[in-house]
């Protein structure tokens, strides 16, 4: 009870990490024009665990990609601390991703020709102040599988390697796109557990995209997205531990 | 510690080793061709140069009838002459053990004491002659007869038979190519060069205190034409036959022409090879990288810069290029050495110098690696230019359309898989076009290789069956009256005898000149004929001369111009004659006239220098023996031997290069087709696996992929034939020389063999890909998006 209260109190006091205003994104898929975002406004605070919840096609992945500097908005502004990343060029975005952002994707996106340790090293080698790959893998409880290739790991293990790879650089923000989307319940919980402990132990601002409402219960705040806009924001007074979730 | 990105590189490379090897093979083929040809040529030139300078090959050569030794003072006094040496050179007929027909030889005097000042001999084995009736013999002749020091031949010198014993086997820079005067093809069995001590040869030929041949070197900076003009003046009263610069000296002229031909081959073909290899790599690399789109996106998401990604793939390309380049350079050096060895033996060089300019493989590698980098970078840039988010998203369903075939209402004819093939081709026409172009370029190289081999055979066949239909040609010692023909016709086995006349002359037009014989051809000749480009007999005009087009080019003369003939025999008249026709012949620089017209020009009547004869095979040996004992016969040349020697010469020359061309073109063809198939496979394996999941059989999905490959290969065949035709046409001119010219004849055979190789490469690639299709992992497809 004590712990939960600290969270709530801290919330309002925390600094703003992201400040997105009127973010719009239109892109072409083949011959179709897709309006992925239609003026989204949202703030993310330091150290919080946010879940972006919405059905598929709601624009949540697009929002995450824009926050992570993988994509730029068609209109609107996005500020990361004091920097406008919505108007940044390719070079600045690369530096931004390199030094501040950790990504986790639904399909892991591990490099198939590299072992778990090497996949993590791929990132630590270019980071400013990384952990050792072994340390990062221990954090996700994969110390004994470090020299396995992706093809020798289960889906959950692969995703934990991806988590290790994302956190090894000690990023300021961790952005996760449907991290459990391709996993069964049990392994999904393990991955969420890994994310929760990173958020708790390292204080990394963490945003998780999901269409699974159950996961929202472990967040500090839940941002509901529908049809390219922010529908509402819920604040959880109590955060459930991943082990307490069920779906 | 190898960075993780480099490990990815090595592992990716290992995973794709089959494909990487195919690419490396294409590079290796191009580089090997380039390095071996240019390395060999460089070495050949160097060997030639070393040989000439070490053995003091003269700069100017001149013959005369007979000049007193005192004339040498005048010659040495000519301004610009460094060293001059007189010799006696005497033509003989030979009775060689084991040879029915007479052979001819050249006896050359060797100083009584010490070494010759010029044109020194390399002694392969034995000791130079000391005693009477001893000779040193040319290695080519000794090899042809398996002669060793101690063996002997009988020579008819100045009407007297003498048995000459070989004491040494030697090589001379003057006879790298040993050709009887007027001959175009070496015939080592029937032509030998021998060296004898001066006083002995002078005694045998009545040349004491006199000489009939002089060679000299020039002082640095001396004017060659000026020295030759003055030399001609000095020798004119003594029956001078005209001075000849080193570049026109028969052996050297042939050698240079051959090396030039090899050089042109060596400069043209490997460059085409490299260009084709580079183009292919460009195509292959760009498609390869396109298949790694997702990985590029992931790397970028982690913060790798575009430059890092570019360097990563550049390393990939360079690694493959370097592997191919090293294999190619090593193979090229090895082959270059082998080729140099072959040519060293062929040309009877005493030493083998093989030099490989280290810049050569480096240059070849730079060209291929550069081209592949270019190809790769275009794709890397494209992959890197995508915002990573977009690249991570599954690619939008590509835009397909109903194809033209379907739009014009034939859709009911086509089954669904066939529609997929056609729509795929029509959706990415550039990709399809590049694949077709790549395969057809490889096929074109094959067409060029096979085409040239065909042309060489065409020349040999035409020479044997159309131009030279005689069995034997007999040359007289001196021009004789036409009645000599009767003597020949009376000999055993002679079925038909056709007279000819050969008049040695200097052909001059303005400031340019060449020494050449005027061939007088009898009207209505049926044995030895002049033909036009369609191999139809050419009727020589009543007046005027017909020239090889190559000779006309050398002289800068065209039809209708007046040519000056400075005749080098008899009264040595100078005559003007109109160029009446140009002939596209294959061998040498020739001038032809109607026999009667030539005699009229010479103001003589019924003079002939020999005859072409057809012989009853049954009486052949009898005829040869009788010719051997006929005093007025200077030499006999056998058509079959000439053709065999021509074939042999060709085989040892350009056919080696052409063989290599065909081999490497085959390697390239396979590399290209295989890569095209493999890349299509990796681009579409997911789609095809999905179809398997939906219940299609292995055969059905194979049809979709391999059907596309088949269409590409089939489309490439005619295009390759067309490109090959143009390439052969374009390079042909570069291959023609003063001594040997190929007509542009492409046979259906060349096309069909080339097409077959391409189709076989396609079939083998298809089989390999088919095996991979059979092992597609279906479950994996359902689990992940890509």
pLDDT 10s digits, B570-620:
788 899 999 999 998 888 889 999 999 999 988 888 899 999 999 998 988
- Specify the higher pLDDT residue, A235 or B680: A235
Give pLDDT tens digits for B99-127: 888 888 899 999 998 889 999 999 999 99
Of the candidate ranges A168-177, B318-327, B597-606, B731-740, the one whose mean pLDDT is the lowest: B731-740
Give pLDDT tens digits for A191-200: 899 899 889 8
CB contact under 8 A, A122 and B8: yes
A-B contacts at Cβ under 8 angstroms: 95
CB contact under 8 A, B303 and A121: no
The two most distant CA atoms of chain B are separated, in Å, by 104
CB contact under 8 A, B389 and A114: no
Edge-first strand listing for the sheet containing A205-210: A101-104, A173-177, A205-210, A49-53, A221-226, A229-235
Please tell me if residue B15 touches chain A, with a CB cutoff of 8 Å.
yes
Give pLDDT tens digits for A17-54: 999 999 999 987 777 888 889 999 999 999 999 999 99
pLDDT higher than 90, residue B71: yes
pLDDT higher than 80, residue A220: yes
Rg over CA atoms, chain A: 17
CB contact under 8 A, B300 and A126: no
CB contact under 8 A, A114 and B308: no
Task: Check residue B53 and give its pLDDT.
Answer: 92
CB contact under 8 A, A122 and B15: no
Cβ-nearest to A114 among B8, B390, B397:
B8
Query: Across residues B472-490, what is the average pLDDT?
Result: 88
Percent of chain A whose predicted confidence (pLDDT) is above 90: 35
pLDDT higher than 70, residue A7: no
Q: Quick one: tokens of B139?
A: 């290695």
* Number of other CB atoms surrounding residue B98 within 10 Å: 7
Q: Are B75 and B84 in contact (CB under 8 A)?
A: yes
What is the C-alpha separation between A90 and B362, in angstroms, rounded? 37
What is the C-alpha separation between B190 and B276, in angstroms, rounded? 46
What is the C-alpha separation between B766 and B755, in angstroms, rounded? 16
Chain B residues with CB-CB distance to A98 below 8 A: 302-305
What is the C-alpha separation between A131 and B399, in angstroms, rounded? 45
What is the C-alpha separation between B561 and B584, in angstroms, rounded? 18
What is the C-alpha separation between B773 and B705, in angstroms, rounded? 9
Q: How far is CA B388 from CA A73, B301, B394, B743, in A?
A: 13, 6, 12, 59
Task: Check residue B284 and give its pLDDT.
Answer: 67
Task: Check residue B785 and give its pLDDT.
Answer: 45
Q: Which domains does chain A have, with CATH numbers?
A: 46-69+98-244 (3.40.50.300)
Torsion of CA B250, B502, B634, B235, to 10 degrees: -60
Mean pLDDT of chain A: 86
Q: Are A162 and A105 in contact (CB under 8 A)?
A: yes
Q: Are B108 and B194 in contact (CB under 8 A)?
A: yes
Q: Quick one: tokens of B573?
A: 């008249």
| Residue entry with tokens 């000794």 | B142
pLDDT higher than 70, residue B402: no
Cβ-nearest to B15 among A28, A113, A127:
A113
Where does B617-697 have alpha helices with state H? 620-628, 639-652, 654-693
Q: Are B502 and B518 in contact (CB under 8 A)?
A: yes
Please tell me if residue B98 touches chain A, with a CB cutoff of 8 Å.
no
Secondary structure (3-state) at A70: coil
pLDDT higher than 60, residue A11: no
- Specify the higher pLDDT residue, B476 or A28: B476
CB contact under 8 A, B301 and A118: no
Q: Is the confidence metric ipTM above 0.90 for this complex?
A: no
CB contact under 8 A, A98 and B398: no
Mean pLDDT of chain B: 85
Please tell me if residue A88 touches chain B, with a CB cutoff of 8 Å.
no
| Residue entry with tokens 């004849």 | B745
Q: Closest residue of B to A62, CA-based?
A: B389
Please tell me if residue A170 touches chain B, with a CB cutoff of 8 Å.
no
Task: Check residue B315 and give its pLDDT.
Answer: 86
Best of A118, A127, A181 to substitute, by most chain B Cβ atoms within 10 angstroms, is A118
Within 8 A by CB and 6+ apart from B626, the residues are: B491, B492
What is the C-alpha separation between A92 and B381, in angstroms, rounded? 18
CB contact under 8 A, A97 and B295: no
Chain A residues with CB-CB distance to B4 below 8 A: 114, 118-119, 121-122, 125
Please tell me if residue B221 touches chain A, with a CB cutoff of 8 Å.
no
Please tell me if residue B8 touches chain A, with a CB cutoff of 8 Å.
yes
Q: Closest residue of B to A109, CA-based?
A: B298
Our CA-based measurement puts residue B404 at a distance from the nearest CA of chain A, in whole angstroms, of 20
Task: Check residue B287 and give its pLDDT.
Answer: 67
Q: Are B540 and B482 in contact (CB under 8 A)?
A: no
Task: Check residue B394 and give its pLDDT.
Answer: 52
Instruction: List A residues 105-164 in contact with B (Cβ-Cβ < 8 A).
Output: 105, 107, 109, 111, 113-114, 118-119, 121-123, 125-127, 155
Cβ-nearest to A125 among B4, B300, B397:
B4
CB contact under 8 A, A105 and B7: no
Give pLDDT tens digits for B122-151: 999 999 998 889 999 999 899 989 999 999
Please tell me if residue A90 touches chain B, with a CB cutoff of 8 Å.
yes
H or E segment and range at residue A58: none
Chain A residues with CB-CB distance to B295 below 8 A: 111
Task: Check residue B392 and give its pLDDT.
Answer: 61
Q: Closest residue of B to A123, CA-based?
A: B302
Q: Are B541 and B594 in contact (CB under 8 A)?
A: yes
Q: Closest residue of B to A32, CA-based?
A: B396
CB contact under 8 A, A65 and B389: yes
Pairing of strands A75-80, B122-126: unpaired
What is the C-alpha separation between B433 and B745, in angstroms, rounded? 29
Within 8 A by CB and 6+ apart from A245, the residues are: A189, A192, A214, A215, A217, A218
CB contact under 8 A, B387 and A182: no
Q: Quick one: tokens of B77?
A: 């006094």
CB contact under 8 A, B304 and A182: no
Q: Closest residue of A to B397, CA-based?
A: A30
Task: Check residue B85 and give its pLDDT.
Answer: 95
CB contact under 8 A, A109 and B3: no
Query: Across residues B281-288, what is the average pLDDT?
Result: 69
H or E segment and range at residue B95: strand B89-95
Best of A30, A113, A147 to substitute, by most chain B Cβ atoms within 10 angstroms, is A113
Of the candidate ranges B129-138, B418-427, B438-447, the one whose mean pLDDT is the lowest: B418-427
Q: Which domains does chain B have, with CATH numbers?
A: 56-254 (no CATH), 428-467+641-786 (no CATH), 494-615 (2.40.40)
CB contact under 8 A, B298 and A90: no
What is the C-alpha separation between A197 and A191, in angstroms, rounded? 10
CB contact under 8 A, B396 and A29: yes
Please tell me if residue B294 touches chain A, with a CB cutoff of 8 Å.
yes
Please tell me if residue A29 touches chain B, with a CB cutoff of 8 Å.
yes
pLDDT higher than 50, residue B403: yes
Cβ-nearest to A107 among B301, B302, B784:
B784
Q: What is the DSSP string of B748-774?
A: HHHHHHHHHHHHHHHHHHHHHHHHHHH
Percent of chain B whose predicted confidence (pLDDT) is above 70: 92
Chain B residues with CB-CB distance to A161 below 8 A: none
Going by C-alpha positions, the residue among B665, B660, B667 that lies closest to residue B764 is B667
Cβ-nearest to B303 among A62, A99, A109:
A99
Query: Across residues B471-500, what is the average pLDDT?
Result: 89
Chain B residues with CB-CB distance to A31 below 8 A: 399
Q: How far is CA B604 from CA A93, B541, B573, B678, in A?
A: 98, 18, 12, 77
Task: Check residue B182 and give its pLDDT.
Answer: 61
pLDDT-derived band of residue B74, with 50, 70 and 90 as boundaries?
very high
Query: Across residues B426-449, what is the average pLDDT?
Result: 84
pLDDT-derived band of residue B411, with 50, 70 and 90 as boundaries?
low
What is the C-alpha separation between B278 and B230, in angstroms, rounded? 55
Task: Check residue B72 and give its pLDDT.
Answer: 95
What is the C-alpha separation between B168 and B188, in angstroms, rounded? 17
What is the C-alpha separation between A155 and A180, in angstroms, rounded? 9
- E strands within chain A? 16-29, 32-45, 49-53, 75-80, 83-84, 101-104, 173-177, 205-210, 221-226, 229-235
Q: What sign has the CA pseudo-torsion B139, B140, B146, B147?
A: negative
Query: Across residues B761-779, what is the average pLDDT?
Result: 82
Cβ-nearest to B294 among A68, A95, A109:
A109
């Amino acid at each position: 009870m004590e712990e939960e209260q600290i969270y709530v109190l801290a919330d309002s006091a925390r600094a703003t990490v992201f400040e997105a205003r009127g973010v719009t994104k239109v892109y072409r898929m083949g011959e179709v024009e897709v309006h992925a975002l239609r003026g989204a406004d949202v703030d993310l605070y330091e150290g919080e665990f946010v879940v972006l919840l919405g059905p598929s096609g709601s624009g949540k992945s697009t929002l995450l990609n824009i926050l992570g500097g993988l994509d730029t908005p068609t209109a609107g502004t996005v500020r990361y601390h004091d920097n406008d990343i919505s108007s940044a060029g390719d070079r600045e975005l690369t530096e931004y991703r390199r030094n501040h952002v950790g990504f986790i994707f639904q399909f892991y996106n591990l490099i198939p020709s590299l072992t778990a340790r090497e996949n993590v090293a791929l990132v630590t080698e270019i980071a400013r102040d990384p952990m050792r790959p072994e340390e990062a893998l221990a954090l996700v409880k994969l110390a004994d599988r470090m020299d396995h290739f992706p093809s020798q790991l289960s889906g959950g293990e692969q995703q934990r390697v991806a988590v290790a790879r994302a956190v090894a650089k000690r990023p300021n923000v961790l952005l996760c796109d449907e991290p459990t989307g391709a996993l069964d319940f049990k392994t999904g919980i393990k991955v969420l557990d890994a994310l929760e402990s990173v958020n708790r132990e390292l204080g990394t601002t963490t945003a998780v995209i999901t269409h699974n409402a159950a996961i929202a219960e472990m967040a500090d705040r839940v941002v509901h997205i529908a049809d390219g806009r922010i529908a509402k924001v819920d604040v959880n007074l109590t955060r459930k531990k991943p082990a307490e979730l069920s779906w | 510690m190898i960075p993780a990105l480099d490990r990815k590189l090595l592992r990716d490379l290992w995973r794709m080793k089959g494909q990487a090897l195919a690419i490396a093979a294409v590079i290796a083929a191009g580089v090997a061709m380039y390095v071996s040809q240019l390395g060999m040529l460089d070495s050949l030139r160097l060997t030639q140069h070393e040989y000439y300078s070490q053995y003091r090959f003269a700069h100017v050569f001149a013959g005369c009838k007979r000049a007193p030794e005192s004339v040498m003072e005048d010659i040495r006094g000519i301004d610009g002459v460094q060293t001059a040496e007189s010799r006696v050179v005497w033509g003989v007929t030979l009775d060689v053990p084991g040879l029915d027909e007479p052979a001819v030889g050249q006896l050359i005097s060797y100083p009584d004491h010490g070494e010759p000042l010029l044109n020194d001999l390399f002694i392969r084995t034995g000791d130079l002659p000391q005693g009477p009736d001893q000779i040193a013999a040319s290695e080519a002749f000794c090899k042809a007869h398996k002669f060793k020091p101690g063996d002997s031949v009988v020579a008819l010198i100045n009407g007297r038979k003498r048995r000459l014993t070989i004491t040494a086997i030697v090589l001379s820079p003057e006879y790298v190519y040993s050709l009887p005067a007027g001959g175009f093809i070496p015939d080592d069995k029937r032509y030998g060069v021998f060296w004898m001590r001066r006083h002995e040869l002078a005694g045998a030929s009545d040349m004491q205190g006199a000489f009939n041949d002089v060679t000299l070197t020039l002082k640095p900076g001396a004017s060659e034409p000026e020295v030759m003009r003055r030399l001609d003046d000095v020798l004119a009263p003594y029956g001078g036959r005209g001075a000849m610069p080193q570049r026109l000296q028969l052996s050297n002229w042939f050698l240079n022409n051959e090396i030039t031909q090899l050089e042109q081959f060596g400069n043209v073909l490997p460059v085409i090879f490299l260009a084709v290899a580079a183009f292919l790599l460009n195509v292959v690399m760009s498609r390869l990288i396109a298949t790694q789109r997702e990985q590029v996106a992931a790397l970028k998401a982690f913060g790798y810069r575009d430059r890092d990604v570019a360097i990563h793939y550049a390393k990939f390309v360079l690694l493959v290029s370097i592997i191919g380049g090293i294999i190619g350079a090593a193979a090229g050096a090895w082959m270059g050495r082998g080729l140099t060895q072959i040519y060293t033996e062929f040309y009877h060089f005493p030493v083998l110098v093989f030099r490989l300019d280290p810049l050569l493989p480096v240059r070849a590698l730079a060209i291929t690696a550069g081209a592949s980098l270019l190809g790769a970078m275009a794709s890397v840039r494209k992959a890197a230019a995508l915002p990573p988010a977009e690249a991570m998203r599954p690619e939008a369903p590509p835009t397909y359309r109903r194809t033209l075939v379907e739009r014009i209402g034939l859709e009911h004819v086509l089954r669904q898989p066939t529609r997929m093939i056609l729509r795929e081709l029509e959706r990415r026409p550039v990709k399809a076009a590049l694949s077709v172009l790549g395969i057809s370029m490889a096929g074109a190289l094959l067409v060029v290789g096979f085409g040239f081999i065909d042309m060489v055979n065409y020349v040999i066949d035409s020479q044997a069956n159309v131009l030279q239909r005689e069995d034997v040609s007999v040359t007289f010692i001196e021009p004789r009256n036409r009645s000599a023909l009767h003597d020949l016709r009376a000999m055993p086995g002679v079925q038909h005898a056709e007279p000819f006349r050969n008049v040695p002359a200097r052909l001059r037009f303005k400031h340019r000149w060449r020494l050449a014989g005027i061939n007088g051809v009898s009207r209505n000749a049926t044995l030895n004929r002049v033909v036009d480009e369609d191999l139809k007999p050419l009727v020589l005009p009543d007046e005027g001369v017909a020239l090889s087009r190559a000779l006309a080019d050398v002289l800068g003369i065209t039809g209708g111009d007046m040519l000056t003939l400075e005749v080098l025999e008899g009264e040595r008249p100078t005559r003007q004659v109109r160029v009446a026709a140009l002939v596209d012949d294959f061998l040498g620089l020739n001038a032809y006239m109607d026999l009667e017209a030539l005699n009229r020009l010479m103001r003589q009547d019924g003079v002939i220098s020999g005859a072409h004869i057809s012989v009853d095979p049954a009486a052949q040996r009898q005829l040869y023996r009788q010719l051997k004992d006929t005093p007025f016969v200077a030499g006999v040349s056998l058509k079959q031997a000439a053709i065999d020697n021509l074939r042999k010469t060709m085989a040892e020359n350009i056919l080696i290069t052409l063989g290599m061309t065909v081999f490497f073109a085959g390697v390239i063809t396979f590399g290209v087709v295989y890569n095209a198939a493999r890349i299509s496979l990796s681009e579409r394996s997911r789609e095809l696996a999905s179809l398997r999941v939906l219940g299609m059989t292995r055969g059905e999905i194979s049809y979709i992929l391999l059907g596309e490959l088949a269409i590409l290969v089939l489309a490439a065949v005619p295009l390759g034939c067309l490109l090959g035709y143009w390439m052969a046409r374009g390079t042909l001119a570069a291959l023609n020389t003063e001594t040997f010219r190929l007509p542009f004849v492409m046979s259906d055979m060349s096309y069909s063999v080339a097409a077959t190789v391409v189709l076989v490469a396609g079939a083998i690639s298809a089989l390999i890909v088919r095996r991979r299709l059979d092992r597609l992992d279906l479950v994996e497809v359902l689990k992940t998006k890509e």
